[in-house]
Amino acid sequence: MHTVSRKSERLVNLTIALLATRRYLTKAEIFRTVEGYEGTTESKERMFERDKDDLRGLGIAIELGSFDPLFEDEAGYRITQANYQLALGELDGLDIGILSLAASAWSGAVLEKSSESALLKIQSIGVTPTSDGLTSLTPRLILTDPNFSKVTDAIVRRAEIDFGYVSNSLDVEVRKVQPFALYGRTGIWYLTGLDCERGENRTFRLDRIHGDVLVSKKGGRFEAPTSSTHPSFTLALDNVERAQMKIRKNRGHQLRALATDTELGEEWDVIGLPILDQSALLSLILWHGDDVEVLSPADLRSSIVSVLKEIVATHG
């Protein structure tokens, strides 16, 4: 317990000393004045290197520079307040109330600890939160996948990741990806990035990742694209093959939702829609049984017929 205190004491003292100084402190000055650096010069150096890494790990950036660039004096260290302190601008009671509500969304979910420590820092500003005008509706994020934090860490550090991904045929394929973005859409999380082996940008569903994501220790490996603000890659709808089908009146609502044109009839309507994923469409058509008849294209029509024959054969 004592060694634990000694180390944390030294780190806090180092932080205070480097924050308080206006000029750069040389290593020699640090060893002489900051409490906790003991032993041979070599062991002090080792201690200091580790301390710098530890503080950096806590998000505290130590600046290296020299007091006077005209003279070749020894480089020194300092922490500027601008790099250290919270910079969210003015926050009033309502802002704090809103941020508190936002943080509470993670209750029981994967970033719960981070949201709590964020809230603690914001409460330290010393402004009393108000909730005037806010509803009592608390948003909830139901997210417990431990890969979430690994992927966010990799995106922030620009580190490559490796993971097993469940394919259409349920095989687990190993993917190596430079991750750019992570976003949620109707409760499902998507990861976009450069698939290193395929050399193309791809989108992956987080819930289709099998096992743990491995994050490379080396950061700063790539630049994320900045051109598009929306990292999900949109598909061009021109030149996509289209399907036409008859749909019984008041039936086939899921297919109708995809239709780009509809021709109303007596007992049947005819709709047209783009074929974005042939096998998904085939499956959706089959779901609707005898409420749908495919008119074109011919290969989709014949696929339906052969699948139906197979189902009849296997079910007597």
**Please, which of residues 92-151 interact with another protein by CB under 8 A?**
94-95, 98-99, 101-106, 111, 114-118, 120-126, 133-135, 137-142, 149
Report the greatest alpha carbon distance in the chain. 94
Minimum gap (Å) between residue 7 Cβ and another protein: 4
CA dihedral for 307, 313, 314, 315, sign (positive or negative): positive
The residue among 69 and 139 lying less far from another protein, judged by its C-beta, is 139
Q: How many of the other CB atoms lie within 10 Å of CB of 248? A: 15
With CB under 8 A, what is the number of residues at the site for another protein?
119
Minimum gap (Å) between residue 123 Cβ and another protein: 7
Enclosing H/E stretch for 31: helix 27-33
Residue 207 per-residue DSSP state: G
Minimum gap (Å) between residue 175 Cβ and another protein: 15
Minimum gap (Å) between residue 70 Cβ and another protein: 27
Distance between CA atoms of residues 284 and 299, nearest Å = 16
Contact letters (x/-) for another protein, 2-41, by CB under 8 A? --xx-xxx-xxx-xxx-xx------------xxx------
Distance between CA atoms of residues 293 and 200, nearest Å = 37
The residue among 155 and 259 lying less far from another protein, judged by its C-beta, is 155
Q: Which of 71, 72, 89, 146 binds another protein (CB under 8 A)?
A: 89
Distance between CA atoms of residues 221 and 14, nearest Å = 31
Residue 42's contacts (CB-CB under 8 Å, 6 or more residues apart) are none
Minimum gap (Å) between residue 306 Cβ and another protein: 8
Stretch that binds another protein, among 38-46, 66-74, 214-222, 307-315 (CB under 8 A): 307-315
Following DSSP, what letter does each residue of 113-175 receive, concatenated? HHHHHHHHHHHTT-PPP--TT--SPPP------THHHHHHHHHHHT--EEEEEE-TTS-EEEE
Q: Check residue 183 for interaction with another protein (CB under 8 A).
A: yes
The residue among 75 and 88 lying less far from another protein, judged by its C-beta, is 88
The residue among 39 and 108 lying less far from another protein, judged by its C-beta, is 108
Residue 287's contacts (CB-CB under 8 Å, 6 or more residues apart) are 254
Q: Check residue 233 for interaction with another protein (CB under 8 A).
A: no
The residue among 124 and 239 lying less far from another protein, judged by its C-beta, is 124
> With contact defined as beta carbons under 8 Å apart, do 155 and 179 qualify?
yes
Stretch that binds another protein, among 40-48, 63-71, 215-223, 252-260 (CB under 8 A): 252-260
Minimum gap (Å) between residue 157 Cβ and another protein: 9
Stretch that binds another protein, among 39-47, 69-77, 88-96, 212-220 (CB under 8 A): 88-96
Q: Is 249 helix (H, G, I), strand (E, B) or coil?
A: coil
Minimum gap (Å) between residue 151 Cβ and another protein: 10
Subset of 61-80 contacting another protein (CB under 8 A): none
Distance between CA atoms of residues 302 and 2, nearest Å = 77
Give residue 241's Cα distance to chain centre. Answer: 33
Minimum gap (Å) between residue 150 Cβ and another protein: 11
Subset of 259-278 contacting another protein (CB under 8 A): none
Beta bridge partners of 181: 192
